[in-house]
Chain A
């Protein structure tokens, strides 16, 4: 058979896949609906129904968080995939396309798990919290419909994207990429709609004194909606990348040939690169969200940062600090397989110093756990010297410098085996050094100056610090790209020759990202305390209390464990599926351009 060049790229094979997808979702939704209405008619009417053993709150919490993690994965992976696909199309390197394809393949199964979890969550919510869910669905009715439409849309484009992968190579590539972008737009729309419900519960607006709807748009576009949207979007990319890297790490460690090792080493690198790239702006998005929360309700802000939840932020700081450690560790070990990169080894002493000091500052608690004797010696629960590091000014300075350091590791890695040959190389390098030095100067200057001004002025300083760091990174890269044009290569990167222990850093990062999501999810939801809708609809069930941190973090850890097991299952099952390569003719068409 010959591939007729005029035929549309969407083949029967692809369409069959899409039908299957639609059928699957429809069946699932129908079953859930049947289950819910069946049970609801049997069970006695009530405002709350109590689930024995687990209890309502935990019963809803676990599937909700798992659903969210899988959703993050299925939203993050297409972003990751399209970026990689575009890189592949631009650089004409086959392996990028292969990588993107490999991950898109995971989507089908991951969607199913996401949907199952979503249906479980829905059923539990409706059955256990009938009154409250009734109120919410009345309020947000049109968005529910939109959501269902979007789900079907997402399934259609995503399946077309996957099943069209092989048939839409070559001259159809740009349309395939467009499809990939569409998958992401659709996914983002889904996320935004779901976020509207969640954020309404945190920071309600658009309702009158009696909680009746005044404006649906105001209810959707409440205080925390956009910040959560952006925060989640970035986090999803980071998460997708981290999971991809961890997968590559497993495959690397299990690889039996040098070829495989090279492939998975490279894949782990790309995954971690995307993860960290998306992770760097995340703290800034977080500050924005925090600001909006404070502006919506000071009380909520105080209980989040200074009140009962304060200790969880110490946990968060430790997790993020260790992410920085792991990322740099991985990059430095990776430089071992780049000929010529040992030129930069000497900087590692300074860099670990910055990272360690930054981590120490970040982990310094504001209110210190101390025995009576120690407290008497300190004259209070604030240590006069440590107190300097407990405040926001110090922590902002620390995190900015840590971000810059990690960025520099990346840049050294990038330059590792290349020597710039452009005539202006010396000037260019000097400029780059200057830019970084200026940024460090600005960050330090405002960090120290913060201690001498009232808090009203101080808050503004963090903006200067962030801008200095972001600006420096932008300028550095802008110089770097032309600087390395036609650079002399000392030797090719020896993919696969990385020390196996580097792979554990990738695992570690994936686990930490997952833990962070679980923990932050708990804080976000927990700060509503005994409210369903903060300040408006009280939670009158027996579960309206704030848990002890010990119990809450145990549940979070349990969820993380279950998620990792489930995702491992998805990976294993997908790997087992025999990989039908689109329609046969496409294979023939491809054979010519396939480098391997």
Chain B
């Protein structure tokens, strides 16, 4: 086996590339694919170089080419192929395309410690959902039902029938509306955070979250405070998730 180190390394590299590129649906974004392939390349090189025998067998074919111990055509082929490959890679990177440019963005920017709700200052840190705190099952059900009505009157055009972020308008918007069924949206947020987001919408996002031209409306202009808390109850219930609470929130790398 060791004798074939070079060929094996090449084969593994190509196999990984093929799997990542073709084997995963929806396709992995180019930025992540790039990251993965860089790491895989490093891993293969580290492995190969970490043992004298392996390393010897790995460089043997290269040496054979550069020291001219292979037939002339092979030598020429390699010497042409390597720069050609590099050139092709460069072309791929600089070729014009019509995609919108990358928008590295912070999906969940830190909330301000206070914000204004219809002229009243709300303290984000102590904010709790008054309809959930100490509510009995009956009133919870009533408010959730009311929230459901609010949702289908106001939100589902964008956030979708089944809260999947795929409403009628969804594809026209950049960024697309949040998918409440995704573990990365409301289920990793506190209700106070969600309240802030709904009340202040896209315009309320801090500068830290730019570039960001979110179409999310400023709902404090259209809904009452109670209606917003109700719709929050509903989007959690409807998407089968629970709000995050902070006593557990050591967060770690949840980006």
Contacts and interface: CB of A to CB of B under 8 A. Distances in A.
Whether chain B is bound by chain A comes out as yes
B43 to A, nearest CB: 4
A308 B106 contact: yes
Interface string A368-394: 111111111111111111110011100
A501 interface: yes
Interface in A190-230: none
A350 to B, nearest CB: 11
Interface in B24-64: 24-32, 35-36, 39-40, 42-43, 46-47, 49-52, 55
Given A298-B125, A325-B43, A369-B102, A390 B184 contact: yes
Chain B binding site: helix, strand, loop or mixed by DSSP? loop
Interface stretch (A167-175, A327-335, A586-594): A327-335
Contact of A368 (B32, B106, B171, B250): B32
B93 interface: no
A380 B26 contact: no
B194 to A, nearest CB: 14
Interface string A342-374: 000100110010011001100111111111111
A315 interface: no
B171 A376 contact: yes
A176 interface: no
Given A348-B47, A372-B99, A376-B171, A313 B255 contact: yes
Contacts of A310: 106, 255
Nearest to A546: B208
Contacts of B39: 321, 356, 359-360, 363
Nearest to A332: B50
Contact of A380 (B46, B165, B245, B248): B165
B128 interface: no
Contacts of A385: 24-25, 28
Interface stretch (B73-81, B129-137, B174-182): B174-182
Given A371-B99, A392-B253, A381 B175 contact: yes
Contacts of A456: 245, 247-248
A248 B224 CA distance: 69
Interface string B120-144: 0000110000000000000000000
Contacts of A298: 125, 190, 246, 249
A318 to B, nearest CB: 8
B29 A363 contact: no
A386 B171 contact: no
A328 B51 CA distance: 11
A572 B228 CA distance: 67
A116 to B, nearest CB: 37
Measured as residues with beta carbon below 8 angstroms from the partner, the interface class of chain A is 35 or more
A131 interface: no
A383 B29 contact: yes
Nearest to A366: B255
Given A294-B246, A387-B182, A456-B245, A325 B42 contact: yes
A349 B43 CA distance: 11
Given A298-B125, A308-B110, A379 B32 contact: no
A527 to B, nearest CB: 10
A306 B46 contact: no
The residue among B31, B101, B106, B255 with the most chain A CB atoms within 10 A of its own CB is B255
A557 interface: no
A352 B105 CA distance: 33
Contacts of B248: 455-456, 459
A257 to B, nearest CB: 22
B165 to A, nearest CB: 6
A385 B184 CA distance: 12
Contact of A369 (B100, B104, B179): B104
B36 A360 contact: yes
Nearest to A381: B107
B244 interface: yes
Contacts of A371: 29-30, 99-102
Interface in B224-255: 242, 244-255
A459 B246 CA distance: 11
B51 A333 contact: yes
Contacts of A396: 252
A332 B242 CA distance: 47
A17 interface: no
A369 B105 CA distance: 8
A454 B52 contact: no
Contacts of B184: 366-367, 380-382, 387, 390
A395 interface: yes
A499 B111 CA distance: 53
A4 B125 CA distance: 72
Contacts of B30: 370-371, 374
A203 B106 CA distance: 25
A378 B175 contact: no
A302 interface: yes
A98 to B, nearest CB: 29
A553 interface: no
Contacts of A325: 42-43, 46
A307 interface: yes
Interface string B162-176: 001110000100111
B125 to A, nearest CB: 7
A292 to B, nearest CB: 9
A396 B249 CA distance: 15
A340 to B, nearest CB: 15
By Cβ-Cβ distance, the 3 closest A-B pairs, closest first, are: A366-B255, A307-B110, A356-B43
9 contacts: A302-B108, A306-B254, A363-B39, A370-B31, A371-B29, A378-B29, A381-B105, A381-B107, A455-B248
Given A328-B50, A329-B50, A371-B99, 16 more contacts: A287-B250, A294-B251, A307-B109, A308-B110, A321-B39, A322-B42, A329-B49, A356-B40, A365-B32, A370-B30, A372-B100, A382-B182, A382-B184, A392-B253, A456-B247, A456-B248
Interface of B: 24-32, 35-36, 39-40, 42-43, 46-47, 49-52, 55, 99-111, 113, 124-125, 164-166, 171, 174-176, 178-179, 182-185, 188, 190, 208, 242, 244-255
